[in-house]
Amino acid sequence: MLICKRLRSLPENFPEFLEELVDGYLDLYGEAAAAEYRTTVSPSMSQSMGLAQVVAFAAYSGARVVGMAMSVMHMGVGKIAFIHVLGKYRESGVEAQLVQASVEVLQQQTPTRIECETIPLYSVNLKMVFEGLGFRCIERALMIRKLEGIDGEDKTNCTRQMQTADEIRVVNCLVDAYHEHPDVELHLGLQHADAAMELLRRFQSGAFGPAKPEWIRVMEDDQGCCGVILGHAMPPDTGYIFQLAVQPSSQSQGRGTALIKGLLSSMANAGMKQVLLGVTISNPAMGLYERLGFQVHRHVDVFVQDREAING
Ligand SMILES: CC(C)(COP(=O)(O)OP(=O)(O)OC[C@H]1O[C@@H](n2cnc3c(N)ncnc32)[C@H](O)[C@@H]1OP(=O)(O)O)[C@@H](O)C(=O)NCCC(=O)NCCS
C-alpha cells in the first residue's frame, strides 16, 4: 500500500533516484551532460523545494520514498515540473497518485490552466493518467542534430547577432509569428509585446541556460529585422533552439533556414557537439528541421488542463 505525502526536502534515499535520473539524462543528452547533471541535480532540486511556489510530493512504500513529483505556479499557470518513480514501482498507479496530488494542490491556487511539459527521465506513458484527469495531450518531438561537418565559421551566412536597437523588432517578430499560431498556448510569453520583452530579457540573463550574445541571431529585409532565432546551451556540449520566428509576410523565402544555419555554425564554433529543439508534431516547421538534418530523438507529450476543465 503506497501513501502520497508532501515532501519538504530531498528524501534520505535520494541517491537511488540520482542513479536512475543520471541514466535517463545520459540516454537523452549524452555523457558530458549526464556527468554534469550528476553534480547539479541534488542542489538544484533542494533549492527548488525551498521555494514558496514549489510543492513536492513523495509516494512512500513504508518509510521508503519510491516516487517524487514537483509542481510550481508561474505567471498564473500551474506546472508539473518533475516526476520520477523508481524502477519496479513504475506504471503501477504511483504516477497516477503523484499527478493527482500535484494537480489538486495546483487547482487550489486557481490557475488559468495546468500543464505538464516535463520529459520524464525513464520510459513511461502518462497519457492515460493525464487524460483520466481531463487533460488534453499535445504530441511533440524532441529533435536532435549532431554538429559534425558544420562549418563553424560560415562566412556565407547572412544572419547576424542581435543588437540592442533590434530588440523592439525582435519582440514584434516573436508576437506576430505566433499570432493565431496553434502553438501560442505553449508560449505564454509570446502573446503580447510586454510579455515577449520580458521573455527576451530572461533569456538574455541565462534563465533557460547560458546564452551567448551571438546565439541570439536576426535576419533583416529592407524594413529591418524580420526574423529571429534564440539559442542557448544545455551545458556542457549541447545547444538548444529555444525559439525561431519569422514575420509572416517574410516567410517561405529561406529566412528560417538561414537563421538555423547561422546558429548551428555559431554553436559549432563554440565547441557544441549537438543541438536539440522541441516541436509540435503538427507544426509544418518540423519538415524544415528535417531538411536541415534534425531527427526525432524522442516523442514527448505535453498535457494541458484548461480553465473550463479545472472548474469542472
Ligand atoms: C518556422 C518558421 C520560422 C520558418 O520560417 P521561414 O522563413 O518560412 O523558413 P524557410 O523559408 O527557410 O523555410 C520554409 C519551410 O518551413 C516549413 N514551414 C514552417 N512553418 C510553416 C508554415 N506555417 N506554413 C508553411 N510552411 C512552413 C515548410 O517546410 C517551408 O517549406 P516551403 O517554403 O518549401 O513550403 C516560420 O514559419 C515561423 O515563424 N512560424 C511560426 C513560429 C514557429 O512555428 N516557429 C517554430 C517553432 S518550433
The per-residue pLDDT for range 8-62, each reduced to its tens digit, is 999 999 999 999 999 999 999 999 999 999 999 999 999 999 999 999 999 999 9
pLDDT-derived band at 75, boundaries 50, 70, 90: confident
| Helix 167-178 with 193-204: angle, nearest 10 deg | 120
CATH 3.40.630.30 residue spans of the chain: 2-133, 146-300
**Nearest atom of ligand 1 to the alpha carbon of 291:** 29
Domain 2-133 fold is Aminopeptidase (3.40.630)
CA-nearest residue for atom 4, ligand 1, is 256
* Percent residues over pLDDT 90 in the chain: 88
Test site for ligand 1: of 288, 290, 302, most ligand atoms within 8 A of the Cβ:
288
Distance 184 CA to ligand 1 centre (A): 15
CATH 3.40.50.10330 fits 146-300, yes or no: no
Q: What is the pTM (predicted TM-score) of this model?
A: 0.92
Residue-level pLDDT at 36: 94
Residue nearest (by alpha carbon) to ligand 1 atom 20? 285
Give 215-254 pLDDT, tens digit per residue: 999 999 888 899 999 999 998 899 999 999 999 999 999 9
pLDDT of residue 311: 65
pLDDT band at 108 (very low <50, low <70, confident <90, very high): very high
pLDDT confidence band for 308 (50 / 70 / 90)? confident
Q: How confident is the model at residue 312 (pLDDT cuts 50, 70, 90)?
A: low
Residue 309 has pLDDT above 80, yes or no: no
Question: Is residue 1 over pLDDT 80?
Answer: no
Protein residue closest via CA to atom 41 of ligand 1: 177
CB within 8 A of 57, min separation 6: which ones?
4, 5, 6, 7, 68, 69, 70, 98, 101, 102, 105
Mean pLDDT lowest among 99-108, 146-155, 255-264, 302-311: 302-311
Mean pLDDT of the chain: 94
Determine the pLDDT at residue 310. Answer: 66
